[in-house]
Structure 1
């Protein structure tokens, strides 16, 4: 599934633009399958207990996005990626220290609030001359990287436990792949557009996770995931409409 997802997101970005590509990428393509395997292999309780960690992970991805775009203005993709991952790790480590102090409702509210604030203050860069660089076999490289990551996280779940498995579920792998490849081929401007698209989708993503904590203990997996995915898509469309409206 993962090669198909990253390949599809890449083609969507090329066809409909980076903003749409970023929004599509923010859907739970990675978190959904990982949580599905958590549920099947470790049980519903493990998955529900991991969701607070996933919320922490989303806040870490927000930090990743800001660190990457501000770094991309001055630095090349590899240094920007390194600084962004440092921001993610620092944020999640600090938040993990206070994870037990707040319940799921508080973490969900915090994630929504920070996502809205982040979207409102995310830098809008001036469009410059397009680099128009190409990278041979870029889609295949993306497919390999994302598949290895998903397999690794699900394999390590028993060792890591629910909290750290949750934190690493939204680990910015698809974000990193899209950021680095776009930065290399289109520069900082193109990267800012795709990251802004991802931020637009974080509200729906967080809502998908919150619904799993409510629905999984009650309903079959297919219903819980189906309803959550539907809500995620509807919220993404709503956020896209609002972003376009306020941008005018």
Structure 2
């Protein structure tokens, strides 16, 4: 299998499909779809193919820390986007993302406790998440915006997986849920549709973290017992079911 070819074809396809989903079904549904493990799943797969199954399983603990940092990113970007343009908003959000990741990595919590904290944090974030005010601005589109999104996301994935051996499983895991797709969706929705669209998209993403977190959590147990395809397939179905329930509740 040519792993590099997989990296440069899979990620652009995912970004394009999620962008089209947002255009068809709206920001909230698009955010929920975007929260699925389209990025983290392939990154975990690349870790396993390049570094081994043990490395991939070990990285999942770090992924829980990364998800907490991702929640911090989404909440801060949604909040700051009301008053600031995309550049200061993204810089502040990345700053809070990094601080959250460093803090929880320092605590070195076990997997079960980390999972419980992430689920609780998602529920709290949904409760306190900013609400859109007024109407969404009609969608504007930049020329060739989908190819631009595809290139940015692919470069992120190549960088993270390329640094995996140097970073080790802990920080590789933390970077697995790095807001690659989230950054692309947030900046483009903020720039083209305004803060309300960004808030709706990011709230959908946070809602989807209930299933996304469970997907990664299950890999810590499934990968040691089953093949990669079966492990991912079982967890993906669970992820979809949780997202369906979450979309009904919130």
**Are residues 1:14 and 2:17 paired?**
no
1:211 equivalent to 2:211? Answer no
- Displacement of 1:80 after TM fit? 0.8
Question: What is the match of residue 238 of structure 1?
Answer: 245
Q: CA RMSD in A?
A: 1.0
Instruction: Tell me the distance in 2 between the aligned counterparts of 1:214 and 1:143.
Output: 32
Moved more, 41-50 or 107-116: 41-50
- Number of the residue aligned with 1:5: 14
2:233, 2:72 → 1: CA distance? 29
Deviation sequence 1:11-44 (CA, Å, 0-9, x none): 1101100001000100001110111111122111
Structure 2 CA distance for aligned equivalents of residues 152 and 173 of structure 1? 11
SS at match of 1:97: helix
Distance 1:95 1:77, change over 3 A: same
Structure 1 contact 2–146 (Cα < 8 Å) conserved: yes
Q: Give the whole-Å Cα distance in 1 for the aligned partners of 2:208 and 2:115.
A: 15
Q: CA deviation at 1:154?
A: 1.2
Partner Cα separation in structure 1 for residue 181 and residue 134 of structure 2: 24
Runs of 4+ displaced beyond 4 Å:
none
Q: State the shift of 1:133 in Å.
A: 3.3
The equivalent of 1:124 in structure 2 is: 131
| Residue of structure 1 equivalent to 2:69 | 60
Given that residues 132 and 196 in structure 2 are in contact (C-alpha distance below 8 angstroms), is that contact kept between their aligned partners in structure 1?
yes
Q: What aligned pairs does 1:54-203 form with structure 2 within 5 A after superposition?
A: 54-99=63-108, 102-128=109-135, 130=137, 132-203=139-210
Shift of 1:134: 2.7
Please tell me whether the aligned partners of residues 136 and 197 of structure 2 are also in contact (alpha carbons under 8 angstroms): no
TM-score, normalised to structure 2, is 0.94
Distance in 2 between residues matched to 1:226 and 1:131, nearest whole Å: 37
Deviations 1:168-210 (A, max 9, x none): 1111111111000000011000000000100110000010011
Instruction: Assess, with a 3 A threshold, how the Cα gap between structure 1 residues 129 and 175 changes in structure 2: closer, same or farther.
Output: closer
Measure, in 1, the Cα distance between the counterparts of 2:68 and 2:90. 17
CA–CA distance in structure 1, aligned partners of residues 33 and 192 of structure 2: 20
Query: What are the ranges of 5 or more consecutive residues in structure 2 without an aligned counterpart?
Result: 1-9
In the TM superposition, what is the alpha-carbon distance from 1:132 to its structure 2 partner?
4.2
Q: Which residue of 2 aligns with 1:246?
A: none
Q: Return 5+ residue gaps in structure 1 as ranges.
A: 244-248
Look up the match of 2:36.
27
In structure 1, the residue matched to 2:7 is none
CA distance in 2, matches of 1:134, 1:142: 12
CA shift for structure 1 position 103: 1.1
